[in-house]
Copies of this chain bind each other. A is one copy, B any other.
Amino acid sequence: MSDVEEAIKSMKYDDQGLLTAVIVDAATKEVLMVAFMNAEALRETIRTGRTHFWSRSRQKLWIKGEESGHVQLVKAVYTDCDQDCVLVEVEQRGGACHEGYRSCFFRRLTDAGDWQVVAKRLFDPKQVYKDTKR
């Protein structure tokens, strides 16, 4: 067993076999998205240098950018203290959000209690995605 495989095994997966994965821009540190990885997704993320995730709704592995071309090139992988979460620094091609924004966190809570859009749309999702979400 390679040491990378030991590192993957050392993580504490939840009862669905998942870790929370926080994806950040390697240059600006901006949080781009949050998704889930199982052991296979983490393994493929490390092996290929492209982020892979587990879709709970579709029950399958997916590669970020597989349809849009908006892939994430892996620059570094970190674990948290409890080893139930990974942070992945990436170079983001295009936008991370399937709604057309660079980051999924494009809405900020105002004092009045509105979720206000505070980012600019980079692309039109209808032009980029056919019928799947990402």
Contact = CB atoms under 8 A, between A and B. Distances in A.
The oligomer's copy count stands at 2
Interface string A87-115: 10000000001110100111111001111
A30 B28 CA distance: 9
Given A80-B104, A98-B81, A109 B7 contact: yes
A107 B56 CA distance: 27
A13 to B, nearest CB: 14
A98 B85 CA distance: 15
A31 to B, nearest CB: 6
B20 A34 contact: yes
A66 interface: no
